Chain A
Amino acid sequence: MTADFLLGLADDALVTAQRLGWWVSRAPELEEDVALANIGLDQLGQARGLYAVVTDLEGLGRTEDDLAYLRDAPDFRNVLLVERPQTDFAVCVVRMLLLAAWQSEVYAVLAAREGPARGVAAKAVKEVAYHLDHAAQWVLRLGDGTELSHERTQAALDAEWPYLPELLEPAPAAPVDPASLRDAVLGRVRPVLHEATLVVPELPADPPTGGRAGRHTEHLAALLAEMQQVARAHPGATW
């Protein structure tokens, strides 16, 4: 159960890094190219750290690259939130706010107790605190900026919000039961959205889910096809 849980965390981070990589050379200003690359690198580093723990726990001799490059979409355990396209800056920062709020709580718990992911989590706590702050600052600027930016950010929030419950689904046997983080995560996110003058949607009664069980949107296979193409075209090669 621990390995499965950590694999989910790692896949969230890898898929997020992959989506953030798209922004490099496409950000609204040069400072943001630097910031998004930086956040993508942190997420990638967290994924790699967690894959190392997972491969160690499973003891099958697999490497981080086996996990990243040789699994198909149904074997990935990331939440649906992170795999959907993200080419709108408002979506990028709203999604980052939700994810970083959740990651902050998960990593804080993992960093505070003995366990195989403690070291990775202790480093990640500091990183995601910056991601959360960065996202919050942008949500404030966009939500309380111009009429247009407010509309676009509200639309992004309306689109991303239904994917939040999947992050908080109960998993009593996991090292951290995500359901136990619900109030803390909402407590981080809601004040930012209020201050940004955004309307916080209701959490849906029947939210989209399935990522942790390998049931994904059609977007993940496309993302992986791009990510894995060079590695898979040269089986057994070293890079």
Chain B
Amino acid sequence: MEPATERSATVEPRDPMPDGYRRTLVRQIAQHAHSEIIGMQPEGEWIARAPSLRRKAILMAKVQDEAGHGLYLYAAAETLGTPREELLDALHTGRQKYSSIFNYPTLTWADVGAIGWLVDGAAIVNQVPLCRCSYGPYARAMVRICKEESFHQRQGFEILHTLSHGTPAQRAMAQDAVDRFWWPSLMMFGPPDADSPNTAQSMAWGIKRFTNDELRQRFVDIAVPQAAALGLTLPDPELRWNEERGHWDFGTPDFAELAEVVAGRGPCNAERLAHRVRAHEDGAWVREAAAAYAAKRAARTSTQEPAA
């Protein structure tokens, strides 16, 4: 396959492609799809408790969007010859991962705001370059997803803005949520470049356009002035503007913690996966019924057709 820089058109499902490229894409798209559907849980828990009807409607629509993103992404993975059923099985048995961020608990209403602002904000920084990814179906899915994510990010910012300008208790709730979600959001960009063995190959294939550390820096540079606009502080004593670099300097995330969470030992890994598996198993009889009904209908239709 030609290096990405020498290729202008995207790779499409029927085009020849190296096995490694296909495998890498399936893994990445699946992990992204799994993140969308596991990500429904931490926020979904707050649909019931949203403190106003307007917020309830926005949150419900947001979590619905995440299910929709999961659908587009599983469909994009299917164009590479891997059915959704197989990918869900890989998720349910722990063979494929989802974003580590969703293994952190949502403890208060303000966490819904922090997830929108920081987690969706980080996701956008990660995902905007994917709109120009070399694989066409993935790139096109990402265009649509990024549009919706930017709405999600704004609603999170708006929740936090309202809280930080509200009662002392609301303000404290907002600051606490930002304190807890800041570092895990920085970890969403993955390990530092020196410890990211797949980055070079993914960049050569045009799947990835920037390194983990480049994207992490971009996110910090965007978030710092937004935090100031919110009137909230970011829990990093090393944050300072570096005139020479033209970027914000920041502290080092606890990558040992990231490794633990990725290895399945984060605060909510077990419950997130159990929730997903339970939903799937509890729904098995429904999917079986739908398949049986479709088969009966097909049989009825074929017996009704006149003989040729």
Contact = CB atoms under 8 A, between A and B. Distances in A.
Given A24-B44, A230-B50, A29 B287 contact: yes
Contacts of A51: 53
B118 to A, nearest CB: 19
A34 B287 CA distance: 16
B167 A237 contact: yes
B60 A21 contact: yes
Nearest to B58: A41
Most buried by B among A89, A236, A237: A237
B170 A234 contact: yes
Given A21-B60, A33-B40, A34-B64, A145 B53 contact: no
Interface in B274-294: 275-276, 278-279, 282-294
A231 B52 contact: yes
Interface in B59-73: 60-61, 63-64, 67-68, 70-71
A25 B64 contact: no
A48 B30 CA distance: 38
Given A24-B47, A30-B74, A64 B53 contact: yes
Q: Tell me the interface secondary structure of chain A in the complex.
A: helix
B132 interface: no
B286 A89 contact: yes
Contacts of B294: 141
A34 B68 contact: yes
Contacts of A144: 293, 296
Contacts of B283: 27-29, 32, 89
B64 A146 contact: no
Interface in A59-104: 64-65, 68-69, 89
Contacts of A156: none
A145 B295 CA distance: 9
B40 to A, nearest CB: 4
A145 B63 contact: no
Given A68-B53, A144-B293, A230-B50, A25 B279 contact: yes
A25 B41 contact: yes
B259 to A, nearest CB: 27
A219 to B, nearest CB: 14
Given A38-B64, A238-B166, A239-B55, A25 B292 contact: no
B49 interface: yes
A234 to B, nearest CB: 6
Given A31-B71, A234-B169, A44 B53 contact: yes
Q: Tell me the interface secondary structure of chain B in the complex.
A: helix
Contact of B61 (A28, A41, A239): A41
B268 to A, nearest CB: 13
Nearest to B290: A141
A65 B60 contact: no
A28 B286 contact: yes
A134 interface: no
Interface string A147-159: 0110010000000
Contacts of B218: none
B109 interface: yes
B51 interface: yes
Contacts of B270: none
A37 B67 contact: yes
Contacts of B57: 41, 44-45, 48
A161 B294 CA distance: 27
Contact of B48 (A18, A140, A236, A239): A18
B47 to A, nearest CB: 4
Interface of B: 37, 40-41, 44, 47-57, 60-61, 63-64, 67-68, 70-71, 74, 84, 109, 159, 162, 166-167, 169-170, 275-276, 278-279, 282-294, 296
